[in-house]
A and B are shown apart, each in its own frame.
Chain A
Amino acid sequence: MERYLRIDRRIIFAVIAVAVIVSLLLRFELPVPESKSVRGVYDKIESLPAGSHVMMAFNYDPSSKEELQPMAVAFLHHCFSRDLKVIAMTLYPGAPGLIEQALNTVASQYQKKHGEDYVFLGYKPGGASLIINMGENLYSAFPKDFYGNDTMTLPALRGVDSLRKIDYLFDLAAGTTIETWIVFGKEKYKFELGAGCTAVMGPDMYPFLQSKQLSGLLSGLKGAAEYETLVNKKASAVNGMRSQSVVHALIILFVICGNILYFVSRRTKYA
């Protein structure tokens, strides 16, 4: 009995890897029911009239790409399908490549043009001070966009000179940027804020939903899958949730087996 409790951890890794591969290869459907928090973001975008300005803050880098990039892509599909103007920026130096990839791929599917329908302002350090600067004057915070264009001349930014004029801000966060946006942006400049975050951060963000400081939240791959389902663009997140469910069931099985073995081995030890 003892030897089962001292099982080589590499066997568990191998079983998990096989479960992921097999569940990705075998195509079977699992329902992805929408949650109230994801619906909050979706409903907000649905309520905006065409031409409204949505700011997307891509605050993640390749280490969190697997969870947040599908959210970004699904959210962009929703925005472009509703003819909203998208303003992208980041507080992370590792994000620009991912932003360009997401923006260019989705925008080309809707024949949207950079500068007219969407802009990519680029990266700026500073966090809280940058947000305050954007709240006072967007053009002084970003005099040029990522490609070196003068931001004053970009048609997509017409009518937006500060965060006060933004209709919705969606922060995709791998760190503490959601709190920073709430404290230094939303509370001061009174814009609507929604967020997408990694699953690790999810539980910490729920109090902000309760207090309505966030209008909606996409948490981890599950949040991304729910949004993909809502906008009818099922892609990597929905496919990934199949494996996610299988692996979770497997982990629960491991935990139950581990506990049974532990209690049985203790009983035989003290018998």
Chain B
Amino acid sequence: MRKDGDFLILTGSIGLFVCINIFLMASGKLPFSFNGFGIMLGAGLTLAVYSFLYKDNPSFKIAENLYVGVSLGYTIIITWFNFLKPDLFDPLIVPMFSKAAEKSPHYTLIIPSFLGIFMLLRFSRNLAWLSRWTFAFVVGLGAGISIPRVISAFILGQIKPSLRPVFSSGETILSSIDTLLILLGVTSVLIYFIFSVEHKGAIGKISKVGIWFLMISFGASFGYTVMARVSLLIGRVQFLLRDWLGILQ
């Protein structure tokens, strides 16, 4: 009985969607062109994705799988034409096998190409050991490049503004309060995260202040997250009302 009800809701919704589109095309609100069909498809997929809020259903699953497939296909094409073709195929493969090529092959590209291929050998039991060469190169290079830069940008760069004097000439009262709050927040949160000392007495009290700072920070993050999710909904509703139904200018 319940499954029959779900089937009826699904077919009814699809029927209503088709009827609305026929009406929109017949009344000229949607152009009878690729653009018009694109808008229709976009509207259908948007509604299919949001139908998950009611219940998991086949139309949501179709939209979900379509999104994954299309984005993967798009990524492959973009990667080929933007990266592999101009940076590897044209300078190395084409001159190697074409007698008409004007430029000589860039043989240095063979090394990174092989390192890339080695990474895929993780799937072979006999040749998986070759992938360690690539990983060793990537980890070594990554650490070598990252460590000094991260220390400079994140640790030293972030400590500097935290060490500003609270009261100095030229500062307004508000900016001094701001700096004082930063000092209080940084110190109390750092003390909260010292677990080698029991949180009793003065340490316990300061770490409680740290918890308050953390809670306020999580609250701000959650508020922003809600704003982000609502923004996505607003954007989709704008698309449905403006581009599809044409009732919003």
Give a binary string over A97-128; 1 marks a CB under 8 Å from any B CB, 0 the rest.
10000000000000000000000001111001
Contacts of B152 in A (CB 8 A): 187
Q: Which of B79, B235, B248 contacts A93 (CB 8 A)?
A: B79
Is A17 among interface residues, defined by CB-CB distance under 8 A? yes
Is A67 among interface residues, defined by CB-CB distance under 8 A? yes
B166-222 residues at the A interface, CB under 8 angstroms: 182, 217, 220-221
Cα(A199)–Cα(B248), bound, Å: 25
Contacts of B228 in A (CB 8 A): 67, 198-200, 220
**What distance in Å separates the Cβ of A178 from its nearest Cβ neighbour in chain B?**
11
B241 touching A21, Cβ below 8 Å:
yes
Contacts of B230 in A (CB 8 A): 16, 20, 243-244, 247-248
B42-97 residues at the A interface, CB under 8 angstroms: 53-54, 71, 74-75, 78-79, 82-83, 86-87
Is B109 among interface residues, defined by CB-CB distance under 8 A? no
Q: Which of A13, A219, A251 contacts B53 (CB 8 A)?
A: A13
**What distance in Å separates the Cβ of A211 from its nearest Cβ neighbour in chain B?**
5
Q: Which of B87, B146, B234 contacts A20 (CB 8 A)?
A: B234
B149 touching A66, Cβ below 8 Å:
no
Q: Which of A10, A179, A221, A236 contacts B227 (CB 8 A)?
A: A221
Given contacts A211-B157, A211-B160, contact A244 B237 (CB under 8 A): no
Is A234 among interface residues, defined by CB-CB distance under 8 A? no
A24 touching B237, Cβ below 8 Å:
yes
Cα(A13)–Cα(B50), bound, Å: 10
Is B224 among interface residues, defined by CB-CB distance under 8 A? yes
**Residue in B closest to A242 when the chains form the complex, CB atoms:** B234
Q: Which of B145, B158, B161, B248 contacts A132 (CB 8 A)?
A: B145
Given contacts A66-B236, A183-B149, contact A123 B221 (CB under 8 A): no
A94 touching B75, Cβ below 8 Å:
yes
**What distance in Å separates the Cβ of B44 from its nearest Cβ neighbour in chain A?**
16
Is A240 among interface residues, defined by CB-CB distance under 8 A? yes
Cα(A22)–Cα(B230), bound, Å: 14
A203 touching B217, Cβ below 8 Å:
yes
Given contacts A124-B83, A251-B226, contact A187 B157 (CB under 8 A): yes
Contacts of B14 in A (CB 8 A): none
**Residue in A closest to B241 when the chains form the complex, CB atoms:** A24
A17 touching B233, Cβ below 8 Å:
yes
Size bin of chain B's contact surface? 35 or more
Cα(A24)–Cα(B226), bound, Å: 18
Give a binary string over B149-161; 1 marks a CB under 8 Å from any A CB, 0 the rest.
1101110011011
Given contacts A94-B71, A94-B75, A236-B235, contact A128 B157 (CB under 8 A): no
A248 touching B153, Cβ below 8 Å:
no
Given contacts A220-B228, A247-B230, contact A125 B83 (CB under 8 A): yes
Give a binary string over A55-72; 1 marks a CB under 8 Å from any B CB, 0 the rest.
000000100011100000
B235 touching A66, Cβ below 8 Å:
yes
Q: Which of B145, B158, B220, B241 contacts A184 (CB 8 A)?
A: B145
Is A213 among interface residues, defined by CB-CB distance under 8 A? yes
B53 touching A10, Cβ below 8 Å:
yes
Is B134 among interface residues, defined by CB-CB distance under 8 A? no
B227 touching A222, Cβ below 8 Å:
yes
- Interface on A for B, CB 8 Å cutoff? 10, 13, 16-17, 20-21, 24-25, 61, 65-67, 93-94, 96-97, 122-125, 128-129, 132, 143-144, 146, 148, 179, 182-184, 186-188, 198-200, 202-204, 207, 210-213, 219-222, 236, 239-240, 243-244, 247-248, 251
Q: List 17 A-B contacts (CB under 8 A).
A: A16-B233, A20-B237, A61-B71, A66-B234, A123-B83, A124-B82, A143-B87, A146-B82, A182-B153, A183-B146, A183-B149, A183-B154, A202-B224, A210-B161, A211-B161, A220-B231, A239-B238
- A-B pairs with the 10 shortest C-beta distances? A66-B235, A199-B228, A221-B231, A93-B75, A199-B227, A240-B234, A199-B224, A183-B153, A123-B82, A211-B161
20 additional contacts (CB under 8 A) given A13-B53, A24-B248, A200-B225: A17-B237, A24-B238, A25-B247, A61-B71, A66-B234, A67-B235, A94-B74, A96-B78, A128-B142, A183-B149, A187-B157, A188-B149, A210-B161, A211-B161, A213-B153, A220-B224, A220-B231, A240-B234, A244-B230, A248-B230
